[in-house]
Chain A
Amino acid sequence: MKTKKHHLLIWVLLCLTLLVSSIAIAPQQETAAAPKTDAKLTAIKKRGYMVLGVSADYPPYEFHKTINGEDKVVGFDIDLARQVAKDIGVELRIKELGFDSLLGSLKTGKVDMIVSAMTPTPEREKEVAFSQPYLTVAQKVIVRKGEENKYRSVMAFKGQKVGVQKQTTQEQTAKDELSGAKVVSLEKVTDLILNLQQKKLNAVVVEAPVANAYVQTNKALTLANVKFTNADYGCAVAVAKGAPAYLANVNKTIKTVQKNGQFAKWQKTANTLMFSKQNFWQAYGSYFLKGTGITIVLTILGVFFGSLLGTLLALMKRAKNKLIKGIAVVYIQYFRGTPLLVQVFMIYFGTQVIHLNVSAFASAALALSLNSGAYVSEVIRSGIQSVAKGQSEAARSLGLSSKQTMRLVVLPQAVKTILPALGNEFISLLKESAIVSVIGVGELMFQTSVVQGSSFKPFLPLVIASLIYFALTLILSLVLRVFEKN
């Protein structure tokens, strides 16, 4: 179960967001009894659609499936969200994000609700409002087949390595109830299964629907007969705080679908879809193709705008004006001195804070361009420095201005040094672009984790992704070599 608390980073960003928005927006008043409508509900109705935030790599809750040749996000969470929208009388739009980015997106208004197998925790309840639970689930222990007899009680795990998803309810349960076990926390369920298969872990604690899925699709794994005493919990829909009428609408939908058996039907459909046999390539080939395409487009955009920006910065850094020079120096230092991951989050959430609704793709392209600009400017600077000083002295002694000297003499020679280095920057940007998967841009790495999740094959998609990246960088470096020779 994905009951992760957020990444520390998101908290910092949220605090920033809160700080800024508390200055910018007058505090909304909360009323005790749910009124007929509220600002949020009115806004959604007026807009005619609502945005669902979901991390669609978690079958059977939410996952990608190719149905009749078309890639779709399915699962009972999606069905529930669609029903909520239908009951309000608007269209549903799905926005895919990394699980870590969901709460941030809800708080900054990029999405209207989260239905993504999320469990209410005290920390989360401080940030957003939760509906009543729509599903209660138990937790299970997966072990390698043949070893299930070793693990018949919670006491049997003493000294054993037990894997859990980081910052989840399972992590807590394992620590509380599997006495003496060495609990290992990892990011993704797929990673846990991979470790279990390779005997780096002896057991994995996950929630029942997920455990069942893996055991059914993987013959080397089975369930251990272990009962936890205090481990059932619920999944709920998250919405922004301060919208009582909106929340009441959500609760009403949940109550209805549980009563009339609709939710149970959705669960069944999701399970069937999840286990429907498909040829791996037929089912997932298009994901890799799409991801590769987006990765290439992002890289091209990043390199193009990065080069423009980098040239500008390199010129600014040579300016006599101290302010212009200072701006360039600080900019380059900042973007080279902070992780790209932080920059991506800053831009994606930061633009929302200043009330600009920038899409994840645009944020990613922007972050890559801004980041690459800093590196390109250094490439250009060192290229310019590589041209012998005598060249510009000779030009100046003939009466050429400093601009003419740069344009006619120095830059044409610097290009010889700049081009190969720029090629390296191109290659490294291609690889770095994997980072933007965290804000849900559907590039290669994002698609890879989607496939990992929905195929229950944790390793193969990684191999494929690595081969694609390798092929791309190989082709790129060959092209560059030809280019350099000319």
Chain B
Amino acid sequence: MTTILETQQLTKSFGNNQILKGIDSKIEKGEVIVVIGPSGSGKSTYLRCLNSLETSTSGTVSFEGQVVNQLSEEQLDKIREKMGMVFQSFNLFANYSVLQNLNLAPMYVQGISETEATQKSRALLAQVGLADKADAQPTSLSGGQQQRVAIARALAMNPDVMLFDEPTSALDPEMVGEVLNVIKDLAQTGMTMVIVTHEMGFAKNVADQVWFMDQGQLIEKGTPEQVFDHPQEARTKDFLSKILAS
């Protein structure tokens, strides 16, 4: 097994507010990690630190054996290329069509020709079930469709790892399924993934490991069975009982 992402004593503060309080974590190639925990526990911040959208306050983040904290902006850009990120609010580029959303980074970052990029983008759109939406404007799509486009856009860069930041939280209930199915399919392909989500059924289904975070700390790690059926920590039990009661 090779380690793709690793953090050591990672902390992150905004002003006096410490969001992450020393996270030690390791993500192996091909693993699907699902991060659960109450709102404000630092899950999203952790994810954003992994691809340096946030700069850590102390501790280290390593990607494929390289410590990223000291890297220049240009080197960080190189690293972000290899990490796809999917946001809660989709963040499709409002000034481009669906196809152009997918083509943009391959063309401008990797220097691929438009013809080649388009070919690949169309294949990816077909993969997420949106082949017919290539020329649509993002705003004309439903939330579920937008999020599927966002996933395809991230995949267009051939990332080594995919980060999902609550990908279904902004969706109407009936659209959650279509997005989770795309992510599930992706997991089948052996893609390394870190998924922050509140969808416990999905977590059980797809995760190799479930991590429980609370108040800026990684409280408990384990297989879905371990964490969901036999939680060791009181805070995990407390959280799960609230979730399952609702």
A residues contacting B by CB (< 8 A) are 388, 390-391, 393-402, 404, 408-409, 412-413
Interface string of B52-82 (1 = CB under 8 A from A): 0100000000000000000001100110111
A398 to B, closest residue via Cβ? B105
Are B91 and A391 in contact (CB-based, < 8 A)?
Answer: yes
- Once bound together, how far apart are the Cα atoms of A402 and B85, in whole Å? 17
Residues of A within 8 A of B150 (CB): 394
Contact B80–A399 (Cβ < 8 Å):
yes
* Contact partners of B154 in chain A: CB under 8 A: 397-398
**A398 contacts B94, CB within 8 Å?**
no
CB pairs A–B below 8 angstroms (28 shown): A393-B53, A393-B91, A394-B92, A394-B93, A395-B93, A395-B104, A395-B105, A397-B53, A397-B83, A397-B85, A398-B80, A398-B105, A398-B109, A398-B154, A399-B77, A399-B78, A399-B80, A399-B109, A399-B157, A400-B105, A400-B108, A400-B109, A401-B73, A401-B74, A401-B77, A404-B108, A409-B93, A413-B94
Instruction: Say whether B153 faces chain A, with CB atoms less than 8 Å apart.
Output: yes
- Residues of A within 8 Å of B73, CB to CB, are 401-402
The 6 closest A-B pairs by CB, nearest first: A399-B81, A394-B91, A397-B85, A398-B105, A390-B91, A412-B95
Q: Which of A399, A404, A409 has the most CB of B within 10 A?
A: A399
Q: Cβ of A413: which chain B residues have Cβ within 8 Å of it?
A: 94-95
- A441, B51: Cα distance in complex, Å: 58
Nearest-neighbour CB distance to chain B for A387, whole angstroms, equals 8
Q: A390-B89, A408-B104 are in contact. Are A397 and B95 (CB under 8 A)?
A: no
B84 at interface (Cβ–Cβ under 8 A)?
yes
Residues of chain B with a CB closer than 8 A to A401's CB: 73-74, 77
- Min distance, Cβ A248 to any Cβ of chain B, angstroms: 72
Q: Which chain B residues lie closer than 8 Å to A395 at the CB level? A: 93, 104-105
Most buried by A among B51, B81, B104: B104
Q: Which residues of B contact A397 (CB under 8 A)?
A: 51, 53, 80, 83-85, 154
* In the complex, per-residue mask of B123-159: 1 if CB is within 8 Å of any chain A CB, else 0: 0000000000000000000000000001001100100
In the complex, what's the smallest C-beta–C-beta distance from A249 to chain B, in angstroms?
70
Whether B87 sits at the interface, judged by CB under 8 Å, is: yes
> Could you tell me if B95 and A409 are in contact, using CB atoms closer than 8 angstroms?
yes
Nearest B residue to A388 via CB reads: B91
Residue contact A396 to B109, C-beta cutoff 8 Å: no
The residues of B that contact A390 with a CB separation of less than 8 Å are 87, 89, 91
Task: Considering the complex, give the chain A residue whose CB is closest to the CB of B85.
Answer: A397
Q: Is the CB of B94 within 8 A of A391?
A: yes
Residues of A within 8 A of B77 (CB): 396, 399-401
Interface residues of B: mostly helix, strand, loop or mixed? mixed
Q: For chain B residues 84-128, which have a beta carbon within 8 Å of chain A?
A: 84-85, 87, 89, 91-95, 104-105, 108-109
Q: A391-B94, A393-B53, A409-B95 are in contact. Are A398 and B104 (CB under 8 A)?
A: yes
A291 to chain B, nearest CB (A): 42
Docked Cα-Cα span, A90 to B234, in Å, equals 102
How far is it, in angstroms, between the C-alpha of A393 and the C-alpha of B52 when the chains are bound? 11
- Bound form: Cα–Cα A398–B109 in Å: 8
Q: CA–CA, A394 to B104, complex, Å?
A: 12
Task: Other than A396-B77, A398-B104, give 15 A-B pairs with Cβ distance below 8 A.
Answer: A388-B91, A391-B91, A391-B93, A391-B94, A393-B53, A396-B53, A397-B84, A398-B105, A398-B157, A399-B77, A399-B82, A402-B73, A404-B109, A408-B108, A413-B95
**Closest A residue by C-beta to B110:** A399
Q: Select from chain A the residue with minimum beta-carbon distance to B83.
A: A397
B211 to chain A: closest CB distance in Å? 21
Shortest Cβ distance from residue A386 to the other chain B in the assembled complex, whole angstroms? 12
Cα distance A158–B87 when bound, in Å?
Answer: 82
Q: Which residue of A lies closest to B100 (CB)?
A: A408
* Residues of chain A with a CB closer than 8 A to B80's CB: 396-399
A442 to chain B, nearest CB (A): 44
Q: In the bound complex, what is the Cα–Cα distance between A388 and B84 (angstroms)?
A: 20
Distance in angstroms from A205 CB to nearest chain B CB is 66
Docked CA distance A397–B87 (Å): 10
In the complex, A391→B150 CA distance in Å? Answer: 12
Q: Which residue of B lies closest to A401 (CB)?
A: B77
Mask, B156-171, CB within 8 Å of A = 1, is 0100000000000000
Which chain B residues lie closer than 8 Å to A400 at the CB level? 77, 104-105, 108-109
A398 touches B81 (CB 8 A): yes
Smallest beta-carbon distance A464→chain B, Å: 45
- Measured CB to CB, the nearest residue on chain A to B92 is A394
- In Å, the complex CA distance between A400 and B73 comes to 11
A394 and B94 within 8 A (CB): no
Residue of A nearest to B163 (CB): A397
CB-CB under 8 A from B78, the residues of chain A are 399
Complex CA distance for A396 and B73, rounded to whole angstroms: 11
Assembled-state Cα–Cα distance A413/B137 (Å): 14
Is B153 within 8 A of A393, CB to CB?
A: no
Known: A409-B95, A413-B94. A398 touches B153 (CB 8 A): yes
A394 touches B87 (CB 8 A): yes
- Which A residues are CB-close (under 8 A) to B53? 393, 396-397
